[in-house]
Structure 1
Amino acid sequence: MDKTIRVFAPATVANVACGFDIMGFAIGNPGDEVVMQLCEKPGLARPGVVIKRIIGDEGKLPLNPDKNTVSIVVKQLLEQVQSDYGVEITLYKNMPLGSGLGSSAASAVAGLYAVNELLLRYEPEKAIRKREDLLPFAMEGERLACGSAHADNVAPALLGGFVLVRSYDPLDVIRIPTPEGLFATVIHPHVEVQTRDARSILRKRISLEDATIQWGNTAGLIAGLWQGDFELIGRSMQDVIIEPIRSLLIPGFDSVKASAMNAGALGCGISGSGPSIFALSKSQEVAEEVGRKMQNTFGALNIDSDLYISGINQQGPRIVNEQ
């Protein structure tokens, strides 16, 4: 029997304006896909993890299983549960690297979900039963990718929907309901912003005044999502701490944000560390108009871009088809 599976995991928007490092949500597209096959290798105490191919990365990502987010998390899970299997992985990078859309998180989540689904079928006594329990493994992929085991991308990619990371010690992640009709517009300009650079320029200390404003906006955003209050969502999407600094790394940011708001967006901000920019709207029609205006603004600056529009992805990873 061919023990193979193909899994898709979605891109994510982290921070969501005022929720730096503690909020994120999953979108419908783009996302990464993993094709994974369980392998038995007689004579070895522990079969290994092998990356056969990576497609779509232009040769930028390592095939070494100890240096790639998709494989390192799978390897750690298999070792922890003491599985008798190894795996062979083919990774399809369907989203741009360094985009601020959780590229490394999507790969890690796709790999974890795939290997755990295979364990449920062929080694069920060693499989992880709760999806939430896969989260610490996924966070280790983020540690490899950017030096910090944060959860604001991997949690929504794994669990779907909007999430709040209330605490890291102990890890406490809460899924936040979202109102029907909420749509995301995400635009990825073809400029480069390194996550490490975007973190290095941040202030280490902030004023109590700014902190108070940010706390109020974060609480307001969560309340607005929970209550389905679009106006409250919109007026809470104000970031007075991170955006004023990181926006300097994104050419045309202020103009693109203004075009989104003028087209009817509830709010607009930087996706993760950028350069992607996201907006939330209260209908698909508005979200599409917002996207057209944002893309036109980048175009006027001679900056090409990719545009994605979707509802909030409530599912997270999914099996694409059986191989």
Structure 2
Amino acid sequence: MSPSIKVFAPATVANVVCGYDVLGFAVNAPGDEVVMTRKDAPGVLISKITGDDGRLPLDPNKNTVSASVQHYLEHIGRQDIGVTIELHKKMPIGSGLGSSSASTVAGLFAINNLMGNPLTNKELVPFAMKGEELACGYGHADNVAPALLGGFVLIRSYEPLDVISLPSPEGMYAAIVYPEVDVPTKDARQMIRTKVLLKEAVTQWGNVGGLVSGLFLKDYDLIGRSMVDVLVEPTRSILIPEFYKMRALAMENGAIGFGISGSGPSVFALTRDEATARNITNALQQLLKSININSLAYVSPVNQAGPVILD
């Protein structure tokens, strides 16, 4: 019997309102699963993909999971290794919850384990970024770093890459709602302004500093008032139905703060407890239903584990 491993990797909320491309955190659900099996002949093959409605490529050079595994094997000098990959999508594609990131991270965690863990999870981040580059044209780390490391993560710098794990209050929950409308990441990125006013930049980096400080201080009020985005959200919110109504509803129901998850269309609220998070997802889903939009909801504490091996 060839060695085989099954891995789960979590979804993530990137940007966290004010931290475009530099902040993200992991959640317990949804996520993706990868089953990886050693084979005798060298090379990386994808034998099966489920849950994607046929949208993802089986070509190992075009799929984010296999492509990043190939990069990894080249880096450690083990192109003689052969593996077969099964990818089981357990989360919606194009949801703004790091769908490609979860798949890629599961694959990298699996191959690293099969190889005896020569690299740390943090050292796997650049290989996961290669997968993101393939998925959306830009190798950002605000999804893959929290998916690999768990918890809240700050990407202080991309050149050189400097990834920092942040604490978060123990009782904090995320209430996530995915309205089933299409917002491709590439399109959402292209809408964003490339030049900003200095005044707006000052507001934004004050909020990023405030949010990071709030996480360290476990100060919910500081976290909440720092969750303001003057640069990206005003443009991206146009793509999300009833965004400002949803925000008002979330805040009325006890949210600390509210915003777009990644490039959307998923939205999220941070809360002090699970009951508040559930009330918020219920209220948001009812609002979307009233305008004939189906949605999926997820309630989760901040995931501190990152990827895990399943039995």
TM-score category, normalised to shorter length: over 0.9
User: Conserved in 2, the CA contact under 8 Å of 1:65 and 1:71?
Assistant: yes
Q: Distance in 2 between matches of 1:223 and 1:141?
A: 31
Q: CA deviation at 1:300?
A: 1.2
Q: How far apart are the structure 1 equivalents of 2:112 and 2:278?
A: 36
**Structure 1 position 282 matched with structure 2 position 259:** no
The match for 1:50 is 45
Matched, 1:80 2:75: yes
Distance 1:80 1:160 in 2: 24
What residue is the counterpart of 2:89 in the other structure?
93
TM-score normalised according to structure 1 size? 0.95
Corresponding residue number in structure 2 for 1:138 = 128
Which 5+ residue runs of structure 2 have no aligned equivalent? none
Q: Look up the SS of the partner of 1:142 in the other structure.
A: helix
Distance, in Å, in 1 between the alignment partners of 2:76 and 2:58 is 24
Find out whether 1:179 has 2:169 as its counterpart: yes
Cα distance, 1:200 vs structure 2: 1.0
- 2:153 aligned to which of 163, 167, 183: 163
> Which amino acid is the alignment partner of residue 36 of structure 1?
M
Aligned partners of 1:178 and 1:226 also within 8 Å = yes
Q: Distance in 2 between matches of 1:230 and 1:272?
A: 22
Match of 1:18 in 2: 18
Q: CA deviation at 1:26?
A: 0.3
Using the TM superposition, give the Cα deviation of residue 128 of structure 1 relative to its aligned residue in structure 2, in angstroms: 2.4
Query: Could you tell me which residue of structure 2 aligns to residue 267 of structure 1?
Result: 257
Counting matched residue pairs gives: 310
CA RMSD of aligned residues (A): 0.8
Q: Report what 1:44 is aligned to.
A: none
Query: 1:195 & 1:136 partners in 2: Cα distance?
Result: 20
Which digits, 9 at most, give the CA deviation of each residue in 1:49-107, with x for residues without a partner?
Answer: 00000000011100000000010011111122122321000000111111000001001
Q: 8 Å contact 1:252–1:301 — kept in the other structure?
A: no
Give the gaps of 5 or more residues in structure 1: 42-46, 121-126
3-state DSSP class of the match of 2:13?
strand
With 75-84 and 94-103 compared, the bigger mean Cα shift is at 75-84
Question: 5 Å matches for 1:178-257?
Answer: 178-257=168-247
SS of 1:257's partner is: helix
What is the TM-score with the length of structure 2 in the denominator?
0.98
Structure 1 segments of 4 or more deviating over 2 A? none
Q: Percent identity?
A: 55
Assess if the C-alpha contact under 8 Å between 1:128 and 1:134 holds in 2: no
CA apart distance, 1:119: 0.8
Q: Is the 8 A contact 1:266 1:282 kept in 2?
A: yes
